Amino acid sequence: MTSMTGSMAVTLGMLTAFFALIVFVLYATNRNAKSFSDYAVGGRSFTSWYIAMSYTNSWWPGATYTAFFGLSVSAGVLGFYALAYSLLGVTAMYLMAERAWLWGKRYDLKTQPDMLGLRFDSQAVRVIASAIGVVCLFPWIVLGMQAMGLIFRFASFGQWSVTTCLIVGVVVIAVRQIWTVQMGMRGLVITDLVQGIVAYVLAALVCLGILFGPADSGGFTALKDVPDALLVVPGDGGSYGPWYLFSLIVTGVIGSLCWPTSYQRIYTAKGVRSVKKGTLQTMLVAGGFYLMLTLVALAAASMTDIAGAPQDGWFTLLYDRGGQWLLGMALVIVLAASMGWIDGCVQVCGAQIANDIVHVISPRTDFQLKVVAKGSMVVYMLASAVVAYIAFDYPRLQLLAQMSYQGIVQLAVPMFLGMFWKRGTKTAAQVSMCTGFLIAAVLTWQYPDDMPGLGSLTGGVVALAINLVVYVVLAYALPQPEQERRRVEELFEAGRSRPEPSLAPTH
């Protein structure tokens, strides 16, 4: 950072131009939401590429270029674990797309807790699931805010203080929220397409250019010089036990299906076909992009300045390759990813707080729900900005993300067993979710990284196993009333696609 020099007019100008493009797209596509359902899921009208880019934007935040790039530089091939769980997670999303979308369409579901409340006919299940989702998304908003701070730290070439950078970053995101709050999911999905092209397609092309560029550090030829220490994974010697990598991938795969931001993309699609096709396109975009980025990080790991500050590596590398102009492009890419990610998290949290907590406790009109959702978004943003400032220099940022996974996976048992197994009851869902989340919180507090006494299992995996046992035992121990059994049978029948009868030709 201290060695970087350039004109802030160039870097800030490029960021401003991209932000203006997004605002133009928002104004050009603006349409007032007719109802809270239209506001929350965009009228269920989007085709597969919109779903793919929106899903990818809800998956790879700006922190991918800071925390996860830094992880690959400092821990080597461990960085590929995120690629493994992402592709497996998207595959599972493909398998459950049909039932989730059909239930959403037929019962006007707007959020993931909405679906759980329907399946178990329980408002308590809905509130608990919503609270867990909102709490677990919070660390990711913090990471997104910190990435915004880093953007302006580099855009100012280190001349602005941390406080100034964070404030400017928060102001930019806050201004962006004017349109997110106003347009709801429709504006978010449309801009996700534009932001996704810049954040992932352009970034993948930049990575390819680096890999096939000059034959020095950062290119393909540098991969053969990657230190041996970066070619081993946790458990293959070192301080971690044999179950650490397993735990990371398991929580990643299961957690990928539980994030409210990912799940809600299903409801914005115009049909089952759009969801399934969109998940296949997501694999291509998200998998290809992250593979390229991780290879670049590994190749650059031997560069002294990047090894000294891994989380700044993306910016440092592009500055080394192309000076202030390529640094400006790196900043625009991270801005695109950060805006898409934070917008998605804030929008979903506002919708869940309004629809699945406030509305359950005290029913509201559509207008009042939109007001509550917008107010919740503002409070959520301010709280995350404060925490982002306090934890700005935390040395292992990706640990915040891993900790949030320990909590979100506790939704998996009632969600997936509920969708594919008819026996579970609302009591089983309530008790298993609460038990799993509380145990995960306590164990993660005591062991934020791993549990050495259990072969480096993480607290979330231990809690998830207990969560599963509680659900299954209660499902068998508590009889399901006949009326409830019939209701679940009808619900499962409603989640099956039927081919439309073809019309006979009239002539």
CA distance 260 to 15: 29
Question: 50 φ, ψ to 5°?
Answer: -60, -45
| Neighbouring residues of 428: CB distance < 8 A, sequence distance ≥ 6 | 414, 470, 471, 472, 474, 475, 478
User: Mean pLDDT of successive 10-residue segments in the chain (507 residues)?
Assistant: 83 95 85 72 85 85 85 87 80 81 88 91 94 88 82 91 84 79 78 91 93 73 80 77 86 82 82 88 90 92 87 91 93 91 82 88 83 84 81 63 83 91 93 95 86 90 96 92 92 74 42
For residue 381, the SS3 value is helix
Q: What is the DSSP string of 45-106?
A: -B-HHHHHHHHHHTTS-GGGGTHHHHHHHHHGGGGGHHHHHHHHHHHHHHHHHHHHHHHHHH
- Cα separation values, 299 from 211, 313, 463, 489, Å: 8, 11, 37, 54
For residue 235, the SS3 value is strand
CA distance 234 to 79: 11
pLDDT at position 21:
93
One-letter identity of residue 185: M
pLDDT at position 505:
44
Token pair, residue 270, equals 């115009």
pLDDT at position 262:
75
One-letter identity of residue 78: L
pLDDT at position 13:
96
Q: Where are the alpha helices (DSSP H) in 353-458?
A: 359-361, 366-390, 397-408, 412, 418-420, 426-446
- Cα separation values, 73 from 166, 210, 293, 317, 402, Å: 25, 16, 11, 12, 18
pLDDT at position 18:
95
CA distance 489 to 423: 10
Under 8 Å between Cβ of 136 and 408: yes
pLDDT at position 203:
94
> Is the backbone of residue 97 left (phi > 0), alpha (psi -120 to 50) or beta?
alpha
Other C-beta atoms closer than 10 Å to the C-beta of 333 total 23
> Helix (H) and strand (E) counts for the chain?
24, 0
pTM: 0.84
The H or E element that residue 150 is part of is: helix 123-155
